[in-house]
Amino acid sequence: MCGIVGYLGKSRAAPILLEGLRKLEYRGYDSAGIATIESTGDLRVERSVGKLRDFEATLPLDELDGLVGIGHTRWATHGKPDKANAHPHIDSSQSVAVVHNGIIENHRDLRRELTNLGHNFRSQTDTEVIAQLIEHYLHNDVPLHDAVRTCLNRLEGTYAVAVLSRHAPKEIIVGRHASPLVIGVGNEETLVASDVPAMLQHTKNFIVMQDGEMARLTNNHIDLITLEGEPILREAEEHPWDADMAEKGGFTHFMQKEIYEQPRAIADTIGERTTTLSSRFTLDELSEIDGKLSGINRAIILACGTSWHAGLVGKYYLEEIAGIPTEVDYGSEHQYRKALVDNNCLIIPISQSGETFDTLAAMRAAARGGGPVVAICNVLGSTMAREADAVVFTRAGLEIGVAATKTFSSVLAVLYLVATHLGALRTSISSEECSTLISNINKAPTLLEQALKQESTLESLADKFHNVLDFLYIGRGINYPIALEGALKLKEISYIHAEGYPAGEMKHGPIALITDEMPVIALAPQDDVYEKMLSNIEEAKTRDGLVIAIGFEGDSVLEGQADHFVPMPNCPRLLTPIVLSIPVQILAYHIAVQRGCDVDQPRNLAKTVTVE
Ligand code: M6R
């Protein structure tokens, strides 16, 4: 995690670094800092503990006139979140500054070696060894980029680094191994950052660095080389996102804005893929590997967090639409078990960021079995997108709120399309069924618009229940994953304990928890398990449970049975998880707001988990 940024150009670097860090704060917010080369030639380092706004409050911005600089926003791994451990880290002679995202696994050995050589360490971080090691190699006439290259070749673990030194005041040296890093190519200015949004104010042209690469950046030149020193030729590519996406656009929080963007996100995700509606629906992204796809006999979905919940819905789609037996595994679990994945198994890693460490590790482990890898992610150029055999991108646009919302529903839409493509390819659905499925998913944007109209009902429920200690979410079948997702949303942004449970399992234990102080959110659209859900709700009511039911509008039976009712538009069964994700997101959002929580930057979290 952590976000890094660098700038060289004609403008003062410090304000640009701050602006970039603002766009990267979703990656961590334990501390922040910048280093610049001032007009005097001095290396100046400023840093502080806490969020970026705390750093800005202490920063003497007007004093900083350097045109070159690097910055960092931290999610602490090694060393507690205090000022000494905040980046940039500097060497003993205070001539080299380093910002880093990742974990240096051999930092203890290097620290011991460098301490014996007389280097003076000031922090508990793994990163400081990089600054000290560069200092060690930066002697006599060795240029900065060579010293950095020698240093990087000694590191074990993961890193994206940017290095600044007063010995080379007009350049920044960067390197990448298993943590994302992108170079922005501007007009007489060059930027570098963990992610594209930090640079969109300045350029739309980017070079995505790959593992084992480093670069020497000046304001008008980029030397991209391997860690062995071999030159690499790679042109910059234009990115479709624009700077407005990183603004709140009148909403109070990014999360709220992103919830409201869902009709547009789903429309863009399904849009051009389904407009040429024919009886044999095809996803262009998959057509090149159709040969491999027609031979598979099962699938495994790999993901973490919210993406894993999307994967659970994907299991229903793949089994029901495409007739493919499907397993869903956590990235963090899959890589450490002896999973039986052969070349007849379709591997579907799901990741909004495309950079989640555990999902990437699981994808690589599963891919060793030889089966085709079809990734679903939201970020172009991400590691997952580059390594998979094929990618079906969500078109949700930039998501800044740490809690995933629009990317979740967009992944569900992509999974629906992938299942329909496979169903058509394997003729497990008829051409009429295929047309119906496609015409149904095209209704999703309108359905989501209608679902969003229930915000005031959900806000009053939040008003009533924001002080309770526990929530239970129950659902069955294809909406059981939405119960899990609703509970996760509430936990991560409001810090209320919540559990998601398959409603039919309640009587095997959790029903013992039910009291009138623990609201039960029951997801009960009129689908194939509706009657069963009514029974489960009744079981909760009989034990004094307080039920908030979310179901189809006009369902007077459900409304009569529950204590509170949230009506959702009536829709085809396979679309219910997409529609019901809206009320669980809005409820969590308003509960968190009413509790005074930092909705976009919840404690202890970072949006992209690039460490194990
Ligand atoms: O970028 P990814 O989809 O791989 O991220 C996976 C999880 O870290 C992520 O979904 C996390 O659970 C969200 N904060 C949930 O809102």
Is residue 505 classed as helix, strand or coil in its secondary structure?
A: helix
Task: Pick from 312, 581, 601, 609 the residue to mutate for probing ligand 1's pocket: most ligand atoms within 8 Å of its CB.
Answer: 609
Q: What is the DSSP code (8-state) at residue 83? A: G
Predicted pLDDT of residue 32: 95
Question: How does pLDDT run across 511-523, given as a tens digit for each residue?
Answer: 888 888 999 999 9
Closest residue CA from atom 12 of ligand 1: 305
Contacts 24+ apart (CB under 8 A), 270-279: 270/413, 270/417, 270/441, 270/442, 270/444, 271/395, 273/417, 274/417, 274/438, 274/441, 274/442, 277/435, 277/438, 277/439, 279/431, 279/432, 279/434, 279/435
- Of 3.40.1360.10, 3.40.50.10490, 3.40.50.720, 3.40.50.970, which CATH number belongs to 254-442? 3.40.50.10490
**pLDDT of residue 467 exceeding 80:** yes
Min mean pLDDT across 168-182, 329-343, 459-473 is at: 329-343
Predicted pLDDT of residue 277: 54
- The proportion of the chain whose per-residue pLDDT surpasses 90, expressed as a percent, equals 82
**pLDDT of residue 120 exceeding 60:** yes
Integer Cα distance of 471 and 490 in angstroms: 9
Q: Indicate which residues carry an active-site annotation.
A: 2, 607
The closest-lying atom of ligand 1 relative to the alpha carbon of residue 607 is 14
Integer Cα distance of 411 and 429 in angstroms: 22
**Beta carbons within 10 angstroms of residue 484's beta carbon:** 22
Integer Cα distance of 478 and 454 in angstroms: 22
Q: What confidence tier does 247 reach under pLDDT thresholds 50, 70, 90?
A: confident
> Which residue, 336, 397, 343, is CA-closest to 367?
343
**pLDDT of residue 280 exceeding 70:** no
> Does residue 469 contact residue 517 with C-beta atoms inside 8 Å?
yes
> Does residue 523 contact residue 580 with C-beta atoms inside 8 Å?
yes
Task: Pick from 254, 306, 399, 402 the residue to mutate for probing ligand 1's pocket: most ligand atoms within 8 Å of its CB.
Answer: 306
| Residue 609 alpha carbon to ligand 1 centre in Å | 8
> Which residue, 40, 33, 149, 138, is CA-closest to 95?
138
| Residue 610 alpha carbon to ligand 1 centre in Å | 11
Q: What confidence tier does 8 reach under pLDDT thresholds 50, 70, 90?
A: very high
Q: What confidence tier does 42 reach under pLDDT thresholds 50, 70, 90?
A: very high
| Residue 606 alpha carbon to ligand 1 centre in Å | 9
Integer Cα distance of 132 and 141 in angstroms: 18
> Does residue 285 contact residue 390 with C-beta atoms inside 8 Å?
yes
Give the range with max mean pLDDT: 135-139, 250-254, 456-460: 456-460
Stretch (H or E) spanning 412: helix 406-425
Q: Where in the chain do CATH 3.40.50.10490 domains reside?
A: 254-442, 452-594
What's the sign of the alpha-carbon dihedral 441, 445, 450, 455? Answer: positive
Per the document, the length of the chain is: 612
Indicate the angle between helix axes 107-116 and 128-137, nearest 10 degrees. Answer: 50
Interior/surface letters 441-456, b for 16+ CB within 10 angstroms, e for the rest:
bbebbebbebbbebbe
Q: Which amino acid is at 151?
A: C
> Does residue 25 contact residue 3 with C-beta atoms inside 8 Å?
yes
DSSP 571-610: --GGGHHHHHHHHHHHHHHHHHHHTT--SSS-TT--SS--
Compute and round to an integer the Cα radius of gyration of the chain.
Answer: 25
Closest residue CA from atom 9 of ligand 1: 305
**pLDDT of residue 501 exceeding 90:** yes
Ligand 1 first shell, C-beta below 6 A: 304-307, 351-353, 356, 359, 402-404, 492, 608-609
Q: Which amino acid is at 528?
A: D
**pLDDT of residue 86 exceeding 60:** yes
> Which residue, 244, 34, 214, 226, is CA-closest to 134?
214
> Which residue, 175, 191, 195, is CA-closest to 183?
191
- The proportion of the chain whose per-residue pLDDT surpasses 70, expressed as a percent, equals 99
Predicted pLDDT of residue 275: 64
Bridge partner residues of 60 (DSSP): none
Q: Where in the chain do CATH 3.60.20.10 domains reside?
A: 3-246
For residues 431 and 314, which has the higher predicted lDDT (pLDDT)?
A: 314
| Residue 306 alpha carbon to ligand 1 centre in Å | 5
For residues 100 and 513, which has the higher predicted lDDT (pLDDT)?
A: 100
Predicted pLDDT of residue 612: 76
Task: Pick from 255, 258, 352, 377 the residue to mutate for probing ligand 1's pocket: most ligand atoms within 8 Å of its CB.
Answer: 352
Predicted pLDDT of residue 248: 84
Q: What confidence tier does 287 reach under pLDDT thresholds 50, 70, 90?
A: confident
Closest residue CA from atom 10 of ligand 1: 306
Please, what is the average pLDDT of the chain? 93
| Residue 188 alpha carbon to ligand 1 centre in Å | 36
| Residue 1 alpha carbon to ligand 1 centre in Å | 12
The closest-lying atom of ligand 1 relative to the alpha carbon of residue 377 is 3
**pLDDT of residue 381 exceeding 90:** no
What's the rounded mean pLDDT across residues 595-610?
87
CATH superfamily, domain 3-246, is: Aminohydrolase, N-terminal nucleophile (Ntn) domain (3.60.20.10)
**pLDDT of residue 56 exceeding 90:** yes
For residues 140 and 387, which has the higher predicted lDDT (pLDDT)?
A: 387
| Residue 308 alpha carbon to ligand 1 centre in Å | 8
**pLDDT of residue 279 exceeding 70:** no
DSSP 216-267: EE-SS-EEEEETTS-B-----EE-S--GGGGS-TT-SSHHHHHHHTHHHHHH
Closest residue CA from atom 7 of ligand 1: 305
Min mean pLDDT across 166-175, 312-321, 424-433, 524-533 is at: 424-433
What's the rounded mean pLDDT across residues 516-543?
94
Predicted pLDDT of residue 13: 97
CATH says 452-594 is which class? alpha beta
Closest residue CA from atom 4 of ligand 1: 351
Closest residue CA from atom 14 of ligand 1: 403
Instruction: End-to-end CA distance of the chain: give it in Å, rounded.
Output: 10
What's the rounded mean pLDDT across residues 416-435?
93
DSSP 28-39: --SEEEEEEE-T
Integer Cα distance of 273 and 563 in angstroms: 42
> Does residue 532 contact residue 522 with C-beta atoms inside 8 Å?
no
For residues 361 and 271, which has the higher predicted lDDT (pLDDT)?
A: 361
The closest-lying atom of ligand 1 relative to the alpha carbon of residue 306 is 10
Integer Cα distance of 85 and 48 in angstroms: 9
Contacts of 369 (CB under 8 A, 6+ apart): 341, 342, 343, 345, 347
Integer Cα distance of 60 and 334 in angstroms: 48
Predicted pLDDT of residue 276: 54
> Which residue, 487, 467, 498, is CA-closest to 595?
467
Asked whether the bond before 583 is cis by omega within 30 degrees of 0, the reply is no
Integer Cα distance of 420 and 286 in angstroms: 12
Predicted pLDDT of residue 39: 95
Q: What confidence tier does 70 reach under pLDDT thresholds 50, 70, 90?
A: very high
CA atoms within 13 Å, Cβ hemisphere of 565:
17
Integer Cα distance of 119 and 545 in angstroms: 63
Predicted pLDDT of residue 278: 54
Task: Pick from 304, 313, 358, 589 the residue to mutate for probing ligand 1's pocket: most ligand atoms within 8 Å of its CB.
Answer: 304
Stretch (H or E) spanning 184: strand 182-185
Q: What is the DSSP code (8-state) at residue 19? A: H
Stated pTM of the model: 0.81
**pLDDT of residue 487 exceeding 90:** yes
**pLDDT of residue 374 exceeding 60:** yes
Sheet containing strand 470-475, strands side by side? 497-502, 470-475, 519-523, 546-552, 564-568
**pLDDT of residue 306 exceeding 70:** yes
